[in-house]
Structure 1
Amino acid sequence: MNRLFFRFFVLVMLAIAGAAFAVHFAISRLYGDPLDDIARRQAAAQIFLLQHYVDQAPPDEWLARLNKVREVSDVRYDLVPLAQVRAALPAGRHAALAQGDVVIDVANKAFYRRVDLKGERYVGSDDDVIHAQGLPIDTSQALRQEALRYAIVALALLAPIALWSRSHWQGLQHLSRVADDVGAGNLSARAVMPRSASIYPLAERMNAMTARIGQLLESQRSLLHSVSHEIRTPIARLEFGLELLRSAADARSHPALEKRIAAMEQDLVELNALVGELLGMARLDSGQPLQRQAFDLAPALRHCMAGLPPGADIEVQVADELGTLDGDARLLMRAIGNLAGNAGKYAAQRVVVAAVRLPDHVEITIDDDGPGIPPDEREHVFEPFYRLDRSRDRNTGGFGLGLSIARKAIALHGGAVHVEDSALGGARFVVRLPV
């Protein structure tokens, strides 16, 4: 935000400087160099003396009057050849010199003027130029005055711009804080500012967007929660009906029917598991505060790994000095269990769960020796209901919610989880939790 207004300030200053140069250039092209006019006014006495005293001399007395002026004046007057002056002056000044005008040399505090155009002053005077040096020309004060004018104009422009920018900057800072709150999950955050604010329409649209997002998420949570609860009833009825059907099948000793009933019961188990995971997702998205308390991390991890269903050989490499962690132990261990269980489904033989405490966080890694996860799929595996093609069979099972629940639970504790390549040849899930 500060960078935005710094750039705006620099742009305004450059625009003012550009305008000053443009004004100077335009005036110079249209009306001549302003410094030349200032110098001409400062040298007006010497020019007047030359034009109204020296030039008014009778024929053949012009040089005598010029010598008298030389004796009483602090200005040095010299006669130089016309060709030498033309070589010294810029080409743009030659025309004025040829017409007999006074040509000012501001840098050297001097002026040039031809003695005359027809040689009437003395023999060869049409080829001579009078060069006056040491004129009382001082343009520094004029330049300071010009700079002061532009400085006053710049301040007059910058003062209202600064006042407007300050109000605008404060409004944008407020919007930035609200956007951060919304991004952190606080959908009740709103941008409050007066109608007179320059960004009030933007704030209103942002509030409307936030309210709409909140409504959509609330509708989604309500629908998910309601459907998950409502589906429990038909599942219970199906379980009861299957129990009655199994009793009848046992009485008749019908193997094919018993096999079919067993498959249907497995489907019900999966439905129950899906409903449980959906309810878990709904609880994580509900925004309810966590039941935080300090717990010993090492024993919790060992107990979590011991409670996993039989599968791949899980090695637990957890040191005793992991210390305590503040958080919801049940929720965190469920997240770690989901990651380890997922690794166990795809591992060929080994799963290694390790943990280490670093100065500012705890790092938990879950490695497996399975087929791994392609780099372009590693972020997608944490999306709800997303499954790799090879997992869509009944051997691995799953609904694509376990990893999503794990990431949400870890994020609620201020941590993060990502996937990378494992030294065992498969995938490595890395969990970082702040201490």
Structure 2
Amino acid sequence: MNRLFWRFALLVVLAITLATCAIYFTFNRLFGDPLEEIARHQAAGQIFLLQQYIDKAPADEWLPRLNKVREVSEATLELQPLKDALAALPSSKRGQLLQGAVVIDVSGKGFYRRVDTTGARYIGSDDDVIHAQRLPIDIGQALGMEAIRFGVIALFLLVPIGWWSRRHWRGLLALSKVADDFGQGDLAARAEVRPASSIAPLAGRINDMAERIGSLMEARKHLLHSVSHELRTPIARLEFGLELLRERHADDDPALQKRIAAMETDVEELKTLVNELLGLTQLDQAQSMPRQSFALAPLLRECTPPAHLRHRFSASIAGDLGELQGDARLLARAVNNLLGNAAKYAEGRIVLSAARVGGAVRITVEDDGPGIPPEARERVFEPFYRLQREQDYSASGYGLGLSITAKAVELHGGAIAIDDSPLGGARFVITL
């Protein structure tokens, strides 16, 4: 059974229980104790004998008739002093007894009543009380009937609630599956529920939202992919033109030679940007990747920052990292991107470390640079995002490296986080 039904069932049972208690206390206050009325009804035969047979006898016949009833009745009829009866009754019922009423004793399965209030039956009869015991009073039976009534009502309420909640729960599970599939990149996932379902309007809005988001994501991917491919043609033309210009005028003007070299550097930057855009687009479109088993420690030992910065670099790679199922080239690119990012900002130290922590592998890249402000640590993984500070404008790059790293780690089922390094800069932690 689903959780929705059990919650409804609990609420229904609780509501019926509270309603039963409220009804009992209301009736008790307005009309008297319902249990006492049940007991009075069950003891009606003995009360009838007392009032219509014993009490109707003349004064001199009253005690003989009482004795005759004692002989034939299964109940016990005893005479006891009024003060003893008053002591045995709660204060709320003593007044009734003094007035001559029949006072029911539910727990004792009996009743009390004064012989009379005038002393007319016999000498001192006004100071005596008839105490009837062992009467056929069975409150348990009455309570059992109430319990059966309670159960039948609860059953007739819970059956339609169970039927409705099951349909409702299945609809919610369908919506949940759509959300999971959509979150995992299946942009074609849609919720399918019956038009008469209570969540049909919600499912329709979710489908509309998914349609719009899917359209936007597809448009973004196509735009990046198209722009990246279209840029390659003019870049190739620029490279060809610069090569021709170098060959024809290389010896004529040193200044022109220097200018051509600068232009070639700009073209290389454009090529790098296009390649990173294509790489990011491919990762965005990838729902899975070819998985092969590879040793993690040797792969990490081969990851290093650019050659001119390796004198700042140190590594601590544990030997018990074991093997990982995934794309070794893609994971190496993610780590190298972090090392390259650290190389741009580090003042003197770059540290790569990896160790096994419980059932996971933790890879850490840290530096002694300016670090990353806490409020920007989530946004740095967005494409083209760069911090608004001098170090970021002076550092080369396009804000795509960390996006590629985050996507690569995600495809390996891992997570990446940023915090402060003991070295003073930023620390990137990959957990696989």
**Structure 1 length as normaliser, TM-score?**
0.84
Secondary structure, in 3 states, of the residue corresponding to 1:431?
strand
CA distance in 2, matches of 1:122, 1:132: 19
Q: Paired residue for 1:293? A: 292
Q: Deviations over 1:319-352 (max 9, x none)?
A: 6665543322322221111001011112122222
Per the TM alignment, residue 16 of structure 1 is displaced from its structure 2 partner at its CA by 2.3
Q: Paired residue for 1:183? A: 183
Q: Paired residue for 1:380? A: 379
The question of whether the paired residues in 1 share the 8 Å contact of 2:5 and 2:166 is answered with no
Q: 1:422 to 1:110 in 2, by over 3 A?
A: same
CA distance in 2, matches of 1:136, 1:324: 81
Q: Paired residue for 1:199? A: 199
Q: Paired residue for 1:145? A: 145
CA distance in 2, matches of 1:102, 1:406: 90
Secondary structure, in 3 states, of the residue corresponding to 2:136?
coil
Q: Paired residue for 2:418? A: 419
Question: Counterpart amino acid of 1:161?
Answer: I
CA distance in 2, matches of 1:374, 1:61: 107
Q: Greater shift after overlay, 224-233 or 137-146?
A: 224-233
Secondary structure, in 3 states, of the residue corresponding to 2:394?
coil
The question of whether the paired residues in 2 share the 8 Å contact of 1:391 and 1:397 is answered with no
Q: Paired residue for 1:11? A: 11
Question: Counterpart amino acid of 1:187?
Answer: L
Q: Greater shift after overlay, 1-10 or 364-373?
A: 1-10
CA distance in 1, matches of 2:104, 2:307: 101
Question: Counterpart amino acid of 1:337?
Answer: N
Question: Counterpart amino acid of 1:106?
Answer: V
Q: Deviations over 1:392-427 (max 9, x none)?
A: 555322222211110101111212222233343433
Question: Counterpart amino acid of 1:52?
Answer: Q
CA distance in 2, matches of 1:288, 1:181: 11
CA distance in 2, matches of 1:357, 1:54: 96
Q: Paired residue for 1:51? A: 51
CA distance in 2, matches of 1:319, 1:95: 91
Q: Deviations over 1:236-287 (max 9, x none)?
A: 56667777888999777585x8777766655544443333322222111123
Q: 1:215 to 1:68 in 2, by over 3 A?
A: same
The question of whether the paired residues in 2 share the 8 Å contact of 1:316 and 1:352 is answered with yes
Q: 1:392 to 1:220 in 2, by over 3 A?
A: farther
The question of whether the paired residues in 1 share the 8 Å contact of 2:187 and 2:214 is answered with yes
Q: Deviations over 1:81-109 (max 9, x none)?
A: 44554444334434543443212111111
CA distance in 1, matches of 2:357, 2:48: 90
Q: 1:159 to 1:424 in 2, by over 3 A?
A: same
The question of whether the paired residues in 1 share the 8 Å contact of 2:288 and 2:411 is answered with no
Per the TM alignment, residue 9 of structure 1 is displaced from its structure 2 partner at its CA by 2.4
CA distance in 2, matches of 1:318, 1:382: 25
Secondary structure, in 3 states, of the residue corresponding to 2:215?
helix
The question of whether the paired residues in 2 share the 8 Å contact of 1:351 and 1:368 is answered with yes
CA distance in 1, matches of 2:100, 2:338: 98
CA distance in 2, matches of 1:291, 1:58: 110
Q: 1:104 to 1:286 in 2, by over 3 A?
A: same
Q: Greater shift after overlay, 230-239 or 170-179?
A: 230-239
Question: Counterpart amino acid of 2:324?
Answer: L
Secondary structure, in 3 states, of the residue corresponding to 2:309?
coil
Q: Deviations over 1:35-87 (max 9, x none)?
A: 32332233223212211222112245434433444455443333444455444
Question: Counterpart amino acid of 1:162?
Answer: G
Q: Greater shift after overlay, 243-252 or 395-404?
A: 243-252
1:261-280 matches, cutoff 5 A: 266-280=265-279
Q: Paired residue for 1:169? A: 169
1:203-352 matches, cutoff 5 A: 203-233=203-233, 235=235, 253=253, 266-287=265-286, 289-305=288-304, 308-311=306-309, 313-318=312-317, 324-352=323-351
Segments of structure 2 that go 5 or more residues without pairing to the other structure are: none
Q: Paired residue for 2:107? A: 107
Q: Paired residue for 1:135? A: 135
Per the TM alignment, residue 217 of structure 1 is displaced from its structure 2 partner at its CA by 0.6
The question of whether the paired residues in 2 share the 8 Å contact of 1:39 and 1:137 is answered with yes
Q: Greater shift after overlay, 166-175 or 90-99?
A: 90-99
Question: Counterpart amino acid of 2:371?
Answer: G
Question: Counterpart amino acid of 2:114?
Answer: R
Question: Counterpart amino acid of 1:352?
Answer: V
Segments of structure 1 that go 5 or more residues without pairing to the other structure are: none
Q: 1:57 to 1:321 in 2, by over 3 A?
A: closer
Question: Kindly, what percent of the aligned residue pairs are identical?
Answer: 59
Q: Greater shift after overlay, 52-61 or 404-413?
A: 52-61
Q: Paired residue for 1:78? A: 78
Q: Paired residue for 1:33? A: 33
CA distance in 2, matches of 1:46, 1:5: 50
Q: Paired residue for 1:410? A: 409
Q: Greater shift after overlay, 423-432 or 313-322?
A: 313-322
The question of whether the paired residues in 2 share the 8 Å contact of 1:311 and 1:345 is answered with no
